[in-house]
Chain A
Amino acid sequence: MRDWQRRWRGWKRNRQVVLGAWIVIGIVLALLPFVTGATLGRGWVRIIDFALLYVMLALGLNIVVGYAGLLDLGYIAFYAVGAYVYALLASPHFGLHWPVWMALPLGATVAAVFGVLLGSPTLRLRGDYLAIVTLGFGEIIRIFLNNLNAPFNLTNGPQGINLIDPIRIVDLGFSETYTVFGISFPPTHNYYYLFLTLTLAIIFISIRLQDSRIGRAWVAIREDEIAAAATGINTRNVKLLAFAMGATFGGVSGGLFAGFQGFISPESFNLFESIIVLCMVVLGGMGNIAGVILGAVLLTTFPEALRYLGELQYMVFGQVFVDAADLRMLVFGMALVLIMIFRPAGILPSMRRRRELGADAPVAAQEQASLYDAQR
């Protein structure tokens, strides 16, 4: 064991250190929008708000892909469903203005129903076959949203839905600026605290589910579906539950997105979005909550940071050689490739995967012995 690992474990055991670390994290999270706003500008607070939405999405997909091992390439459909339900219930489109505490849970519930709808026909499929069907499902939802403006105008087609009610809880409108004790809270900051609260709730739920009877059943299905069934797990129900839970998180995130943005259109829910959320899960570390959060934060902020590449070239070389917009995606793609080469199990692999890929010496010897046994 290396020195820093030993020190790290020592810290993890020390209660005061752990408590201190949580207090520091709490203070950082509480002050983040103000510090960011003051240093990087208001635009970055907005980016952080989006990062939180993506954390919720990635944690939802993590249940489906990371825990239950069901490769879902159409996950963004649930985000879309949540967003559209909220938008239809709280916008001038139908003249409905439901309060958020009704529209948001309903959006999440409808998304869960769609999760089950997607899950049911795919129960017999695994791996790449499942991936293709879910991919199709994602596209179907987007195309429906795009075309359901006739004969009855449900979704307003490609124009999307505009003037969605901002989120308002009783008298607290999140899109207004408040001043408390001389500190000004603009909308981006208000939404930050709302999103943070819900993200923390979703993190809490993810942790609780992870070591529970249901969580173990999900992992068992991922490991060996036939053995799981032969051990008494109702694989159909448990898989549908994974789809529904994942979709619920997606639906919550989508509803918040609609209220925050004020405008949604089918364009926001294309295949690329599904892929990027999947990247967050895989890159961060499938099945590991901290890893998935890190993946989501990095993949939302990094492309934004790369917008400064033009300025950086100007500062260093005095001129811009390659347009930042072109360079940005190139560097981003390269970073993804490099992470996958050097951290194949993700930036922060789950305990399980870490044990899987990096066997300690005595364990490796044992493994050879058991292989030898099997060959006899």
Chain B
Amino acid sequence: MTPSAKADADMLLALQGVSKQFGGLAALSDVSLGVAQGEIYGLIGPNGAGKTTLFNVVTGLYSPDHGVVRLGETLLSGCKPHEVVTRGLARTFQNIRLFANMTALENVMVGRHVRTQAGVLGAIFRGATTRAEESAIERRAHELLNYVGVGTHAQRLARHLSYGDQRRLEIARALATDPQLLALDEPAAGMNAIETAALQELLQRVRADGVTILLIEHDVRLVMDLCDRVAVLDYGKKIAEGAPSTVRNDPVVIEAYLGGAA
């Protein structure tokens, strides 16, 4: 079965006719795409093509002017950002947004918020249930820090971690919310070759553990190596979709990146 033949209903994440205007600018016009369960799906395109806007629509930071976004059976469009997370979609940011003055461990513990219950009374009386929950949160956070490879920095402030470790920590925090789909906005930006290779290995592990990945990335090699399918955005429109090797030879894509012959 070729991926493009998959029916929309099988898709974990499905966008149908999504449009978003900012004033006179059509940041996204009529974009439809589907990410299948268990795949790594790349989203590429020149600067200003609307990739991050699409991310923000999917994750509830913006609501689309037209169109719908679904995750499995549930509707994401119209949800608030925290509701999107509850429904199983977590994200990272292009410019890292950690809780800079919390420790690495605390950052990941915050990620567990959405899957835990303890309220004010629980915190004050700290009964057996709350204590058990707290230690489960901490245990899981430690596991995730080790999983992404920053376990030795658990007690350091997030802002004091190296750039590559901050990126990994952000992924750990997103994974702490138990997502079905992990949306990464340029995770390899600013990384050197060694860090990028390690990231690639991490993302493959995440996928192997059953999390689907949606990825915006500029690093062409990473996209070619990692993604099962890619979509290309240009001026807010999807101009190509398919296997990386097909897409890179598509004349429309080459024109979008290099500019057409005048």
Q: What residues of chain A have their CB less than 8 Å away from a CB belonging to chain B?
A: 204-205, 208-209, 212-217, 219-220, 223-224, 226-235, 241, 245, 352-353, 355-356, 359, 363, 366-367, 369-370, 373-374, 376
Contact = CB atoms under 8 A, between A and B. Distances in A.
B94 to A, nearest CB: 12
Interface in B119-164: 119-120, 122-124, 126, 130, 133-134, 137, 156-157, 159-164
B91 A230 contact: yes
Contacts of A369: 162
A216 B106 contact: yes
B80 interface: yes
Interface stretch (B14-22, B44-52, B110-118, B206-214): B110-118
B184 to A, nearest CB: 12
Nearest to A224: B97
Nearest to B183: A230
Nearest to A221: B99
A231 B102 contact: no
14 contacts: A212-B122, A219-B101, A227-B99, A229-B80, A229-B82, A230-B81, A230-B82, A230-B85, A231-B174, A232-B86, A232-B114, A233-B110, A370-B166, A374-B163
B190 A374 contact: yes
B77 to A, nearest CB: 16
Q: Which of B91, B98, B123, B177 has the most CB of A within 10 A?
A: B123
Interface residues of B, number: 48
Nearest to B110: A220
Given A216-B109, A231-B114, 20 more contacts: A205-B124, A209-B120, A213-B123, A217-B113, A219-B99, A220-B102, A223-B99, A227-B93, A227-B98, A228-B110, A229-B81, A230-B81, A230-B93, A233-B113, A233-B114, A235-B82, A355-B101, A363-B160, A370-B166, A374-B190
B82 A234 contact: yes
Interface string B23-67: 000000000000000000000000000000000000101000000
Interface of B: 59, 61, 80-82, 85-86, 90-91, 93, 97-102, 106, 109-114, 116, 118-120, 122-124, 126, 130, 133-134, 137, 156-157, 159-164, 166, 173-174, 177, 190
A154 to B, nearest CB: 31
Given A230-B93, A231-B173, A355-B101, A213 B113 contact: yes
A370 B162 contact: yes
A226 B126 contact: no
B97 A227 contact: yes
B161 A370 contact: yes
Nearest to A352: B101
Contacts of B111: 231-232
B163 A373 contact: yes
Contacts of B166: 370
Contact of B113 (A205, A223, A232, A356): A232
Q: Which of A212, A226, A235 has the most CB of B within 10 A?
A: A212
Contacts, number: 127
Given A216-B110, A230-B93, A223 B100 contact: yes
Contacts of A204: 124
B160 A232 contact: no
Main SS class of interface, A: helix
A234 B122 CA distance: 18
Contacts of A359: 160
Nearest to A355: B157
Contact of A212 (B93, B114, B123): B123
B158 to A, nearest CB: 9
A208 B101 contact: no
A231 B110 contact: yes
Contacts of A229: 80-82
Nearest to A373: B163
A231 B81 CA distance: 8
Contact of B126 (A208, A232, A233): A208
Q: Which of B82, B93, B174, B177 has the most CB of A within 10 A?
A: B82
A232 B110 CA distance: 9
Contacts of A241: 120
Given A208-B123, A219-B102, A231 B160 contact: no
Contacts of A214: 118-120, 123
A367 B160 contact: yes
Contacts of B116: 213
B196 to A, nearest CB: 13
Contacts of A212: 118, 122-123, 126, 130, 134
B117 to A, nearest CB: 8
B93 A209 contact: no
A230 B110 contact: no
Contacts of A356: 101, 157
Q: Which of B98, B99, B130, B137 has the most CB of A within 10 A?
A: B99
A225 B190 CA distance: 24
Contacts of B112: 213
